[in-house]
Every structure is written in structure tokens, then in C-alpha cells.
Structure 1
């Protein structure tokens, strides 16, 4: 059993069971930290340590935080061995995601019995573009965009993994840590046969890779460079076609569509233009390739123009095209990559409205989403997922009581619906935040007295400074700074339970509930009567999906006189 130390918190991290992934760089393990994995490198280098430090200090903004989703498995903290050497890092675990190829490849979808339609694929493409846009805004270049590095859940929400391979630029001194790897068939023409370890890439290179991924999603998993070779000799390899700019709709038409090729004209005109800009204009001038933001705008329009087929509910087509291409293709080729869904008539209609509502919500059409959820519930009044999704939409519009009613109804139908419990707690999030700030303010005097009574006069002064400043940071919502000060306070005095509590409060506000739980554990170990720590630990357990443990901690907080815990317990029960 391997035990490591989390550099940011000092907590012990144990590697569990067998490794779950292995690559040329390292191995990935489960850990004793719920919701976190560890990547342990085969060989560590000083440059890799520096690169991780920059990534940990400068995390991109999470574009899907409002959906309680993790969009990228970003390094959380460096992991050190007993000698203090950096051996890897801690990162969030992406649960219940399928590899992108399982989503866009019709045969693999069929083998896995995934009911995916064209709207789902459009929405997935939109969300991938949105995530990559957020990464680019923060100054990162993905470098190695490929299907194996993108996982997708059943809400069409992607998560990007293997983020430590990104090209990283230190915003302080400008130093660039390159992406040393790339994947055939996704490399832009100007980089083919180049040594990635010696090249500073830009987001312009990522634009080409993103376009290939989006094409595969929308066109049955096919490459834009796959078709009939019309010249003499054997068909060149894909990389050679890319190098020469020979795709299906290139001006020279040396590669042409075949009978099974899904034509470009069936998609929204703005999406068509993006492909033409990338592979035609962008071949001559790479700066003309559409950005991730351009794709987001085009795909938003495309999703809004999709309509359901009158014959098959699994078929969607663009209103700009005017008819169901998939029905025509099925008749002509006897191939249907979006076959009839295997659900009851009642359920399939309710699911269709529920899924469309989720797509509308993701696109920002919250009122339209609620209308779809209403229709789903008229068809199937026992659709727990529709109640949960409508609750989320109502909460977004400020109808907190309506949201609570919907979550309660979802739980009435399915008492094991964990997501509904989590959403119900999120409704209370602002109240909890205010309670925490109030508890911190009320504790300020006791913190000063506590710090002044430490044995060492020097340490007392330092501890007082760090703890008081940490309290101020939490009150001002400067949570990262608060964590740094608490780290210093704990180093000076490992028995300061209030420092642990303040740090757990900061982690809670950052929605890092596992870290909050660890700090609460430290607080109650030092002071078993710290009601505030039991309170926050209880709520954190529930947000992490561990309702029984959460209820137990809330009851303990109540027994110690914590009134705020009573209100939360009413909702949970």
C-alpha cells in the first residue's frame, strides 16, 4: 500500500487497489479521497513539477459549474512521497462518462445500447467547443485533442482528461511548458512530422483538431478526409491528405463523397461555413480557422434549428435543410444510425421532451426548458428526472420554492435520486454561506484569544496573524488566499481547530467538498465539541452524495447547540 502526502493540505493520500489506467507517462490510481484519483509518474522531472505548479495556481474557469459538472480533470494538488519528492498529482475523478468514440461511432453505440440522437451529438459538440473556449481564454493549448481524452455523460456534457499534457504558459514569467505529444489524423497540416517537444503551439493549432472532432460527431464518426480517391495510385494516408489539404469539399475535389457519405448540406449553414473556413481557407492561412467561440455561436444556432421527425422520434433534422435526411438515407441505403428507441410509447415521448428541455437549458433558454419539462410531466407524471431538471430551471429563474417542490417530488418518486438531494442542498447554498460567514465573524474574538494563549510567543503572533487574515479572506470571498493563510497557521500550530474550520469553510465555498470534509475531520479530532465543523462536514457529505453520514453529522451539530443544522436537516429528511 502506497501512502503519499497532499502538498496543499498535508493530508495523507492512499493509493487503492489496482491501477485503473497506464500510459507512457504514468499510472492512474483510485485513492482514499472520495471523488479523486492520483496520477503517479514513472519518472518525474523538475520541469514537470514546475508545470504542475503553474496549472494548480491558474485553473481555467469552469464553464459548467451551474450544472454541477466537472469539465476538465484539472490537477488539484501535487503529491509527495516520504522523502518530500513530487511523484504525481491529485485530480477529480470523472464518473459515468463514455469515451467520445462510443458516442459518435454508430456501431459502438449499438453494442453499448446507447440511445443517442443527432440533437445529443450537436449538444455534445457545442459543449466541447464551450469547454475548449474556456481553456483557451485562460491561455492554455490542449495540443493532443483526441476522442480518448474526452468523456461524455448521459446529459451530453463532456469532460476532458489528461490535462497535464496541455501546453502551459506561466502568466508570471512567460515560460512555456510544451505539449510533447500529438495524435495522427488530428494534427494540423503545418505540424505534421514536426517534433512537438520543440514547438510552441498556439490555439490556432487546436482549432483544426476541434473541427475534426466536431465533424466526427455530426457525420456518423467519419473523418472529413475520408472519401473516394479520384487520382491514380493508392489512396494516401490520412495524415498525407491533411498535409495536402485534401478533404471532401476541397476546391480540387480529389477526394469525393461516396454513397454512404453524409452530405455537408444537411447541417445548419453557419456550421457548414465553419467547416469550409477551417479546411479550405484555414489550409491557406491557419489564422482563418474558426475559433472555439465561433463554433459555439454556430452550434447554438444549429441546435435551436433542429426539429424532431414526424415519423421517428429518434430522428432530428435541421429546419434549414427542410426534411428528415435520416429517413431518406434509411430508405436508400437500408442503414439507420439513429434507430427507433427501445422504450414504451409513453416513456419515449416524455424522454424526448425531457431531453429537449435539458438541451434548451444548457443553451440558456430556461423558460423554453420549463415548457418542455411541463410537457414531459403531462405525459408521464412519474418522471423523476423531469421533476429534477425542472427544479434546476426554476432555481435558475429565482423560483426557489418551486424548485424545492420539484426536488421533493423527484425524491418522492425515487428516494434514491442522489442528484435531487444535491440540488435541494444547492438551493440552501446561499443560506449556508451566510451562516458560515456569521459563524466566522462570531468566532473572531475567540480566535484572537486562542491565538494569544499559545505557548510560544513568536508562534502565537504568527498564528494570530494568519488566522485573523484567513477569517477576513473568507468573509471577503477570497477563498484561495484564505486557504493559503490557513495552511501557514496549521504549520505553525497543528492543534488549531479553528484554522482547520476556516480552511474547510473556504473549501466548501469553492465546492471542494472532499477537501472540506478532510479539514472538518481535523477540526473535530482536535476539538470534539466544534459544532461548526460538524455542521459543515454534514453538509459537505450530503453534497458529495453521502446522505447517511451527512445526517449523522448534522444531528451531532444540533446536539452541540448548532441551530443552523436544524434547518438543513429539515430539508434533507
Structure 2
């Protein structure tokens, strides 16, 4: 039984013999190794279980029709845009085992998926402004245009499969041997695809070889839409009817695109969408990509449209006056500021609701739940706590005595003054009825008794109002 070469094994790259260096990474189809004699190249060696000879014709077709994507040099650094095969690799017996390709500095790249969500991008130290995202969209379109020029297609095009250099924002395409490859008179299809990025016409049966470029055009438009619109998928939104599907693939299949120049009848856009501030020329491209008819924009169309917006000298993109970190299209409002204001307003309106504590079971019931029943015996019955005793109904006159706290406070001040005024009036009336109370000891004694009684009544009423009545109201 033959095995695939490993680190230290002798191999042959073209006509030159060499050895595999250290293992860099291992994937589902093969492993990537350093090449000590070729510092700027690496070798991908297929696993034995995937049948390496089955890849021979595919790799040779890739060598014949290489896309025009030369390495970029900027600031003394080399940026490999595509990890495309440059030679076949054979073992010491001449058996095909893999291919060599340019060495791409994966450590200096990040997944495109990471820049779609602002919180995730900030955590990773990646750009969050519209300017860098337009540059990424323009670079991605240019790379795909060069790939499509040779009739090669990615098919499973999605942000998680795309990488970019953090320093330059150049796109880096990896695992190119899994693309759909055009050979001499034969196509080597790509079996993998993702439903959320699959064109409507392929949702039920998958992409066919004749429609792979159309599939790439659709997926590219989805990725660009997400880059320019805070990571929103073009088929998300607010349904206006129950018959609108809830999953993205079904919405794609039935073409529920809510961000067109003409409003969709059954689908409203997301409130935080930035599509309203996108220039009309770009919105028309999105309408062509997601509309019911017409030809979808090609990668070259997107590259030409986005190139000017990516150039600072064009003036089509300006820095926000309110937030220097934001950029927006010239002549349009800042969508990032509008989104921030909407999210802040929503957060202010949201009020935290108190979480009700579940009723506590009595100790006996808790103990009954913790004890496991013995085999052959029924479990012990759970104890149900007795309901609290019902309160006696209170008379209606007591309900009428309920007063607000402010009212009782005011009466507590007004009552003594009013009572004193009434008592003084009664005393003057009684004195006026007596002809000469000073010469009649009996009348003076009665007068003293009257004042004493009035004082006692005053104290009793004060006690009732200040102590007894509040207790009755509290227990009600």
C-alpha cells in the first residue's frame, strides 16, 4: 500500500529533486509543506484516501490556463493574490502526489467574514469604515474578473472562504484546486456550494456546469451587498405577510429582495439598512443581480463601478463631519451615523423587565425531589404547601376611608387647626349665653368641664387619625 509523502520525503518538482519541509497545515484533501530549497513556494500533497491521480488532469488544466493575477509588491512586501499551481509534484517513483504554488503569508490575512460585523471587526483590529469595505469589494471583483477571463469559477463563493491582507486590503484566494476549472475541451466541476449564496435558479437542483458563471455573479453581488450594508444579507428584511418564508434559501428561490429601487410588495427592508444612501448606479447593479430578469452584472462590471469609489482622489467618498471614523457617499447622508442613532434610540426605549423568582417549595417538597425512589416502591408523595388563609372581607365604609398619603398629610395639619377653631367658637357661644360666669361658681365649673371634654375628644380623634386608621388601611 502506497502512502503520501511527509516531511523529509524526497519529491520531484518538475525536473528538480528536493525534499518536503515542515508541515504548515492539513486539510480535508491534502497537507501543505514548506520547501526549504524554494522559500517563496510551498507544496500541497494530497491525502492517499482522496485518490491523488484523480486530481492529475485538473491540476494540469490549471497549469495551462493560469489567470492573469500577478503578485503585488507594495512597501517592499510581496502580496500573493491567488495560490494557483505552478508545477506538479511527484514522489520518488514518479507518481503524481500534488502540486507546488506560491507561498502565501496566511498569518497576515483575515477572513472576509470578520469585517462584515462591526463588533467582530473591532475585536480583531480590522477596519470598520465604508472606505476599506469598498476597496475590498473592488479588489474581490477584479480578482474574480481575471479568474472568469479564463473560464474558471469559484462556485462556493462566500465571505468565510475569502481572505484579505490586513495591511493592503488585497484579496487572497486559497484552495483554488476546489474551483470549477476549465480544461482543454473538458470542465472539472466544483461540487461544493452554500445555499445562502446560491442563485435562485439553482436552489432546488444545485448549479450546473453551464450556469457556474451566473452562480459566481450572484454570489459576488451578495458579498458586495454585505460589505456595503453592515453585513446584511440582501434577502433579510421584515415580511409583510405570513406566507413569506423565514429561511434565506427559500427567500432567494422566491426572489424576496427588499432593497430595490422599487419597493417589494411583501418584504420591507431592515430598519438599519444603508441601501437608501447608496448611489443609484450601484443600486441599479444590485437590482440587476437580484431582480426577476436581465443579465446579472459581471465581475468586470462591479470592478469598473467600484474602482472610482475606492480611489480617494475621485471624491465620491467623503469623511463624515460628525464621526471621523465614518465615510459616506458624496451628496448622501452618513448611513453609519443614522444606524448609530437608531440603535441608541432603540436601546433607550427598551426597559429591563424584572425577572419573577419561581415559587420556593417547602423544605419537605425539596427533600422529596432529591431522594431517588427505591426499586419496587412507589416514589414518596410530594407535599403541597397549604394555601394561605383567606382574609376576611372588610366593610364598605372602611374602603371609603382609604386616602392617599399626600391627603392624610394635609389633613394631619388641617385637622388640629380646624378642631381648635371649632372648640374656640363653641366656648365663645357658651360664654355669651352666660350672664356673668365669674359670679357663679357653678357656671365656671361647668365651663372648665366643657373645655376638658373638648380636649379629651381632641386627643382621641388625633389617636384615631394618626394610629388606628393608618393601621386599618395598611392591613386592608
Q: Does TM-score exceed 0.5, indicating one fold?
A: yes
Give the secondary-structure state (helix, strand or coil) at the position aligned to 2:308: helix
- Describe the shift of the 1:201–1:178 C-alpha distance in structure 2 as closer, same or farther (beyond 3 A): farther
1:135-146 superposed matches below 5 A: 135-146=147-158
**Is 2:267 the partner of 1:267?**
no
Q: Could you say which residue in structure 2 is the equivalent of 1:257?
A: 269
In structure 1, how many angstroms separate the alpha carbons of the residues matched to 2:103 and 2:344? 41
In structure 2, how many angstroms separate the alpha carbons of the residues matched to 1:31 and 1:104? 35
Q: How much has 1:212 moved relative to structure 2? A: 0.7
Q: Could you say which residue in structure 2 is the equivalent of 1:356?
A: none
In structure 2, how many angstroms separate the alpha carbons of the residues matched to 1:150 and 1:300? 19
In structure 1, how many angstroms separate the alpha carbons of the residues matched to 2:289 and 2:15? 45
Give the secondary-structure state (helix, strand or coil) at the position aligned to 1:220: coil
Pick the aligned partner of 1:190 from 201, 204, 222: 201
**Is 2:30 the partner of 1:20?**
no
The question of whether the paired residues in 2 share the 8 Å contact of 1:167 and 1:178 is answered with yes
Q: How much has 1:47 moved relative to structure 2? A: 4.2
**Is 2:45 the partner of 1:40?**
yes
The question of whether the paired residues in 2 share the 8 Å contact of 1:187 and 1:209 is answered with yes
Pick the aligned partner of 1:293 from 300, 305, 312: 300
In structure 2, how many angstroms separate the alpha carbons of the residues matched to 1:2 and 1:182? 36
Give the secondary-structure state (helix, strand or coil) at the position aligned to 2:31: strand
In structure 2, how many angstroms separate the alpha carbons of the residues matched to 1:6 and 1:209? 38
The question of whether the paired residues in 2 share the 8 Å contact of 1:80 and 1:87 is answered with yes
1:434-513 superposed matches below 5 A: none
In structure 1, how many angstroms separate the alpha carbons of the residues matched to 2:17 and 2:119? 45
Q: How much has 1:256 moved relative to structure 2? A: 1.8
Q: Could you say which residue in structure 2 is the equivalent of 1:10?
A: 16
Give the secondary-structure state (helix, strand or coil) at the position aligned to 1:284: coil
- Describe the shift of the 1:113–1:65 C-alpha distance in structure 2 as closer, same or farther (beyond 3 A): closer
In structure 1, how many angstroms separate the alpha carbons of the residues matched to 2:251 and 2:70? 35
Q: How much has 1:45 moved relative to structure 2? A: 4.8
Give the secondary-structure state (helix, strand or coil) at the position aligned to 1:317: strand
Instruction: Compare relative contact order (CA 8 Å, sep 6+) and give the higher one, 1 or 2.
Output: 2
**Runs of 4+ residues deviating >6 angstroms:** none
In structure 2, how many angstroms separate the alpha carbons of the residues matched to 1:177 and 1:86? 18
In structure 2, how many angstroms separate the alpha carbons of the residues matched to 1:11 and 1:253? 66
Q: Deviations over 1:338-381 (max 9, x none)?
A: xxxxxxxxxxxxxxxxxxxxxxxxxxxxxxxxxxxxxxxxxxxx
In structure 2, how many angstroms separate the alpha carbons of the residues matched to 1:37 and 1:135? 21
In structure 1, how many angstroms separate the alpha carbons of the residues matched to 2:211 and 2:243? 34
Give the secondary-structure state (helix, strand or coil) at the position aligned to 2:338: helix
Q: Could you say which residue in structure 2 is the equivalent of 1:538?
A: none
- Describe the shift of the 1:113–1:243 C-alpha distance in structure 2 as closer, same or farther (beyond 3 A): same
Q: Could you say which residue in structure 1 is the equivalent of 2:251?
A: 241
- Describe the shift of the 1:177–1:122 C-alpha distance in structure 2 as closer, same or farther (beyond 3 A): same
**Is 2:309 the partner of 1:302?**
yes
- Describe the shift of the 1:63–1:244 C-alpha distance in structure 2 as closer, same or farther (beyond 3 A): farther
In structure 1, how many angstroms separate the alpha carbons of the residues matched to 2:33 and 2:344? 45
**Is 2:375 the partner of 1:334?**
no
1:144-543 superposed matches below 5 A: 144-153=156-165, 154-170=167-183, 173-194=184-205, 199-232=209-242, 235-249=245-259, 252-260=264-272, 262-280=273-291, 283-285=292-294, 288-303=295-310, 304=314, 305-321=316-332, 323-334=333-344
In structure 1, how many angstroms separate the alpha carbons of the residues matched to 2:25 and 2:242? 47
- Describe the shift of the 1:4–1:267 C-alpha distance in structure 2 as closer, same or farther (beyond 3 A): farther
**Is 2:62 the partner of 1:55?**
yes
Q: Could you say which residue in structure 2 is the equivalent of 1:530?
A: none
1:66-105 superposed matches below 5 A: 67=74, 68-95=78-105, 96-105=108-117
In structure 2, how many angstroms separate the alpha carbons of the residues matched to 1:98 and 1:14? 27
Q: How much has 1:66 moved relative to structure 2? A: 6.0
Aligned-residue Cα RMSD (Å) equals 2.3
- Describe the shift of the 1:270–1:14 C-alpha distance in structure 2 as closer, same or farther (beyond 3 A): same
Q: Could you say which residue in structure 2 is the equivalent of 1:347?
A: none
Q: Could you say which residue in structure 2 is the equivalent of 1:130?
A: 142
Q: Deviations over 1:296-336 (max 9, x none)?
A: 12112333300011232211000141x3222232223239x
Q: How much has 1:63 moved relative to structure 2? A: 5.8
Q: Which runs of 5+ in 1 are unaligned?
A: 336-573
In structure 2, how many angstroms separate the alpha carbons of the residues matched to 1:313 and 1:275? 28
Give the secondary-structure state (helix, strand or coil) at the position aligned to 2:20: strand
Q: Which runs of 5+ in 2 are unaligned?
A: 1-6, 346-476
Q: How much has 1:84 moved relative to structure 2? A: 1.7
The question of whether the paired residues in 2 share the 8 Å contact of 1:28 and 1:40 is answered with yes
The question of whether the paired residues in 1 share the 8 Å contact of 2:90 and 2:97 is answered with yes
Q: Could you say which residue in structure 1 is the equivalent of 2:122?
A: 110
- Describe the shift of the 1:51–1:329 C-alpha distance in structure 2 as closer, same or farther (beyond 3 A): same
Alignment size in residue pairs: 324
- Describe the shift of the 1:302–1:10 C-alpha distance in structure 2 as closer, same or farther (beyond 3 A): same
In structure 1, how many angstroms separate the alpha carbons of the residues matched to 2:255 and 2:309? 26
Give the secondary-structure state (helix, strand or coil) at the position aligned to 1:141: coil
Q: How much has 1:244 moved relative to structure 2? A: 1.1
Q: Deviations over 1:521-567 (max 9, x none)?
A: xxxxxxxxxxxxxxxxxxxxxxxxxxxxxxxxxxxxxxxxxxxxxxx
- Describe the shift of the 1:85–1:253 C-alpha distance in structure 2 as closer, same or farther (beyond 3 A): farther
Task: Name the TM-score, length of structure 1 as normaliser.
Answer: 0.53
In structure 1, how many angstroms separate the alpha carbons of the residues matched to 2:88 and 2:248? 39
In structure 2, how many angstroms separate the alpha carbons of the residues matched to 1:45 and 1:21? 15
Higher Cα radius of gyration = 2
Q: How much has 1:276 moved relative to structure 2? A: 0.7
- Describe the shift of the 1:311–1:57 C-alpha distance in structure 2 as closer, same or farther (beyond 3 A): same
